[in-house]
Structure 1
Amino acid sequence: MAGKTFCAKADAAVTAFDDAMRSDLQRVHALRVGHAWSAVGVHTSEILRRWQETHPDVEVRLRRVDDPAGELTSGLSDVAIMRTHVRGRNLNEELLVMEPRVVAVATDNPLTAVSEVRLADLADHALVINSFSGTTSLRLWQDGRRPVVAVEVDTLDDWQTYIAAGVGIGVTPASTAWMHPHSEITYLPLRDAPPVPVYLVWASNNRHPALRSFVRLARNVVAEDAR
């Protein structure tokens, strides 16, 4: 009886160990993709769908992180989708697409009645800036008058909250409107603002076996969508 009890417990322990090892392997093999707020915008769903079809054994974990370095420097991301340059040695960077900008305003803002919005039209409005992971600063207004900064925030949620409340307006890549619609915010095309580059960035010493395949697939999806 004691022997049978021991064997049963031993089998249970081995099974638990195997399950734990399988879980650890899945964690190791998952490709962690960090992004600040909008991933690759309209291309995101197709990239993930195509990846599941072609690499069903490798999970992609898309991670929204409020970190201007996309958690690359901490090692928590294998690759990051960035809209600003990450300053750091030993980083590889590939440009995926140039993304237009939009202006975000409260739904009752008078700008919603303007047929075409330009940077000069925003000079009389207060600006909400995400100074941590955003892509907009007063340097965007190179000529003429600049708006005043109403408030600086460090998350997308706070940025939207202040804009919806009418505290100020915001300027952001078009992907924000697509991935983060808000019932109290209207996004308007900004005709003369320079586009925002969208990069894939990864550490040169990252040895994840699926990293290069993901970069190649993302590049192909974006190129196909542009045709």
Structure 2
Amino acid sequence: MRTVGAGAYLSPLIHLIDDDEAVRSGLALLISTVGLRVQAWPDPQVFMAGFDRQTIGAIVLDVRMPGISGLSVLDTLMAQGVDQPVIMLTGHGTVEMCRRAFKAGAAEFLEKPVDDEALLEALQNAVRQHVKSRERSQADRHAQERYTQLSAREREVLGLIVAGLTNKEIGRALDVSPRTVETHRANLFAKLEAESLAQLIRQYATLVDEADGR
């Protein structure tokens, strides 16, 4: 799995936060065997202040660390809108701790000594999840940009198309001819870069609802 950054192809980056140097070294070596880059952090507060939020990857976070707990770090990351999936590690897990971690937004919760295959599988799933999430976000941004380029009339027509009206029904609703509706419809498909009615509805129904205050 490769991502593009600064003109070069880079593998996803895993941020590894654990105060135990031996654990950091061992896990960093393990993770690197599947082609993932690793940036290790002994101090969670330094990590939160300095890590690159734009990279594709995931975060591996120890629960028990001096000064601030991994669960507190998780809460802060979620509150800040960080979208990298977080995998929690602990040597002293409880059901309540696991429940709290998932409720707070953790992607996975693993106990130490962590099973190598379980961690690698969790990381690869997390990276795939993050790639898809970023792709959806990018598609949503592009859809929003295209939507803002529509005229007021084109937005009206789009709203009626999304509502399921036929060209004749749209024409009656807007007091225009079906041929005029067909022209607006063709312009909509071109401006919104939609190849089918299903794609148009899938990408723009939410935007139409938001514009109507629903």
Tell me the TM-score range normalised by the shorter chain.
under 0.3
Structure having the higher strand fraction is 1
Higher relative contact order (CA 8 A, sep 6+): 1
The TM-score with structure 1 as length reference comes to 0.25
| Higher Rg | 2
Normalization by structure 2: what TM-score?
0.26
